[in-house]
Structure 1
Amino acid sequence: EPPNANSNAWEVLWRCFPRVRREGLRVETINNLSNGITLRNSVHTEFGKFSIALKPTDRDDTYEVKVFRRYPKLDRQLLPESGYIELKKAHDAQDLDLPNRALLDCHYRLAEILNVSGIAEVIEHNFREWEDLKGSSCHLLREDGGTDIRKFLRAGLWERVIGLKSSSLFYFSNYLIIKI
């Protein structure tokens, strides 16, 4: 069962991706090395937004680099020309696990779903709008009460429409799938 009553994301994840559960991903193991990967900062950011993913291939530790439309065009030139990457252990880290193949596969499949459905853009837009409003709200509220608060409500409550809390989705996209 999920780790706690507020963990609908875990329930969905385990139901849709039973291999993730079999691999032992739980709240207690989220920081395990098999759930980690080191990436350049810009790639890390896009990985968390599901605009880039690593699709497992038939060869162990070799992945196809899947880039989605929202991935920055200028950063594409920094990716491998072949479109594939092989994960290897550093010479001084032979005793450490590589990222878990099942978790990378889960991240890839979620990226496909979010990007094909268009929900990734909706989520990113709403996060950006909410962050912008939070950062400047003291300058946007009129003392005379004439502020149109619809944009605050729309941005702040959008997650209720999809049944997630903003913080849960951030957690889900940046830590639940791959802790970076």
Structure 2
Amino acid sequence: MRVIETEIPEVKRVIPKRHGDERGWFSEVFRMDQLAERGIANVFVQDNQSFSAPVGTLRGLHFQTPPAAQAKLVRVLAGAILDVAVDIRRGSSTFGKYVAVRLDAENGEQLFIPHGFAHGFCTLEPNTMVAYKVDAYYSPANDRNIVWNDPEIGIDWPVSEAEAILSAKDKAAPRLAEAPELF
């Protein structure tokens, strides 16, 4: 298993090794010991899964505030996404900056998103299924979001505002500068 830092070093690409033959392949997609050896020592307590039928489904930018902040380990089981992590740690040298990585079922790459980051993704293929581990339980009282197309963040999404398929919650999210509770 390889772990590679991104432009924001706390956000990491996780690349499990695949062992293949004429039947297909096998991969250990999660090994707590190997991740800990490579700097990801989070204890994951909940697995989440989402399914998005249409291309252009956009989920995010979501996060939970302390004490229920969540780190995530995200992977795609079917289809493909543009996965995005935005630094929302006030005082950080990368505050408001983001990392965007294509994740797909074919290559099996994962993205580790630590505490202090908002997370979102946009589906690139139909019938996309995303699975992710979190290190804190879902807490409705700590659930927050930031608008996906905040111009001050400037994420280069693969869809326009007219094409993006959003929940009512995500449409009504505040901009980063207006978000009262961050890190």
Q: Same fold, TM exceeding 0.5?
A: no
Please report the TM-score for the alignment, with normalisation by the length of structure 2: 0.21
Greater strand proportion? 2
TM-score between both structures, scaled by the size of structure 1: 0.21
**Which protein has the larger Cα radius of gyration, Structure 1 or Structure 2?**
1
